[in-house]
């Protein structure tokens, strides 16, 4: 049986990549690289992570191409896309109209913008036949199938080393943002990084997101951070090959609501999520969600350091997240759809 993987963005597709070696043992796999995964697209960050994909996964595919016309979409028993959005840059609806087998779209992220009733209704039978979602709480219809976050499974194999305090930035305040709270001098002051560094004797790592509309302004963002950060020992990074390593080496994580935030939560690392700094998604139920207030952040961090685990939250929101079995869950869902025709 033949399966086509369609991959559009590295930070989206990396979640499902662990299924590829396993599926290649039983099925014939091809790969279409579009949008940011195409070599025609300029990489927006400071380290092109597409090379990691090619190094680690190219050997599992019979054919890899960036050109739609290199594929006859009617040849595939399954087409699985890393994203479930139809955009001018992906045009998944055009592929859907040509396919014969089942077509699956995977969730774009943890935000409510892509996990709601209207969004699913618009995509059903126009962009995909089934959509893979993260957990139980995202299942709005019977065609929403939870798979968790397969790329998070291997983080259980990393040794916790507590080498740094990690701050994962969403939008900096030096640009337009759709959110009420952005990463500015006030927010960094409220994190009280000098106190935490003095207490734990650890450096601060600031993780920026590589955005398509910031490919020419990364140095501007770094300069902005240098202007607003307090006097601490810090390092700024953008693209990082192994986010599991980055997270597992963290003693504390401060972050906006994001899919990446589930990694430290699954590892039971004290994780503070700043309210209103990103799409809330299902983080409204997370005990580490806190307003941008210095005292509240400090009190919440003390609470999490004493009891970091939030097992019920993980069970509700990440299929296989408690026992790190999301890869097996996703493979089982794929195989059920392959044979359930």
Confirm if 228 and 191 have CB atoms less than 8 A apart: no
Q: What is the pLDDT of residues 35-51, one digit of tens each?
A: 999 999 999 888 999 99
**Rounded to 5 degrees, what angle do the CA atoms 160, 205, 327 make?**
50
DSSP letter string, 276-340: TSS--TTGGG-TTEE-S-HHHHHHHHHHHHH----HHHHHHHSTTTTTT-HHHHHHHHHHHHHH-
The residue written with tokens 């006097």 in the block is 231
pLDDT at 341 over 70: no
pLDDT at 103 over 70: yes
CA atoms of 163 and 251, how far apart (whole Å): 7
Q: How many CB atoms lie within 10 A of CB 149?
A: 29
| pLDDT: which is higher, 308 or 271 | 271
Per-residue confidence band for 125, with pLDDT thresholds at 50, 70 and 90: very high
- Provide the CATH number for the domain formed by 2-149+324-339 in this structure: 3.40.50
Q: Give the pLDDT of residue 150.
A: 98
Per-residue confidence band for 340, with pLDDT thresholds at 50, 70 and 90: confident
Q: Give the pLDDT of residue 284.
A: 96
Q: Give the pLDDT of residue 36.
A: 95
Confirm if 95 and 79 have CB atoms less than 8 A apart: yes
Give the Å distances, CA to CA, from 340 to 20, 334, 335, 336, 337.
Answer: 21, 10, 8, 6, 5
Portions of the chain given CATH number 3.40.50.2000: 155-317
pLDDT at 321 over 90: yes
CA atoms of 262 and 278, how far apart (whole Å): 14
Q: What is the pLDDT of residues 152-165, one digit of tens each?
A: 999 999 999 999 99
Q: How many CB atoms lie within 10 A of CB 303?
A: 14
Is the CATH number 3.90.550.10 carried by domain 155-317?
Answer: no
Confirm if 91 and 6 have CB atoms less than 8 A apart: no
Q: What is the pLDDT of residues 251-262, one digit of tens each?
A: 999 999 999 999
């Amino acid at each position: 049986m033949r399966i086509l993987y369609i991959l559009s963005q590295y930070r989206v597709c990396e979640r499902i990549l662990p299924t590829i070696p396993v599926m290649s043992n039983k099925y014939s796999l091809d790969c279409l690289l579009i949008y940011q995964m195409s070599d025609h697209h300029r990489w927006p960050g400071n380290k092109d992570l597409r090379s990691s994909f090619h190094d680690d996964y190219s050997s599992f595919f019979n054919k890899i191409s960036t050109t739609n016309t290199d594929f006859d979409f009617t040849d595939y028993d399954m087409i699985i896309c890393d994203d479930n959005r139809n955009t001018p840059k992906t045009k998944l609806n055009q592929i859907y109209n040509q396919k014969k087998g089942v077509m699956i779209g995977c969730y774009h992220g943890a935000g409510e913008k892509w996990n709601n009733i209207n969004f699913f209704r618009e995509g059903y039978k126009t962009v995909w036949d089934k959509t893979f979602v993260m957990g139980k709480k995202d299942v709005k219809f019977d065609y929403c199938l939870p798979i968790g976050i397969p790329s998070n499974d291997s983080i259980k194999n990393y040794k916790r080393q507590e080498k740094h305090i990690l701050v994962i930035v969403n939008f900096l305040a030096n640009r337009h943002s759709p959110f009420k709270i952005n990463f500015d001098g006030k927010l960094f002051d409220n994190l009280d990084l000098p106190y935490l560094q003095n207490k734990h004797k650890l450096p601060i790592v600031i993780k920026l997101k590589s955005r398509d509309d910031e490919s020419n302004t990364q140095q501007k963002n770094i300069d902005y951070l240098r202007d607003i950060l307090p006097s601490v020992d810090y390092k700024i990074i953008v693209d990082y090959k192994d986010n599991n390593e980055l997270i597992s080496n963290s003693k504390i994580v401060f972050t906006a609501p994001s899919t990446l935030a589930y990694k430290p939560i699954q590892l039971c690392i004290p994780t503070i999520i700043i309210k209103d700094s990103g799409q809330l998604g299902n983080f409204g139920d997370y005990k580490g969600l806190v307003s941008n207030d210095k005292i509240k952040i400090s009190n919440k961090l003390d609470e999490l350091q004493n009891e970091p685990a939030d097992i019920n939250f993980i069970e509700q929101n990440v299929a296989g997240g408690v026992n790190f079995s999301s890869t097996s869950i996703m493979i089982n869902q794929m195989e059920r759809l392959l044979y359930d025709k």
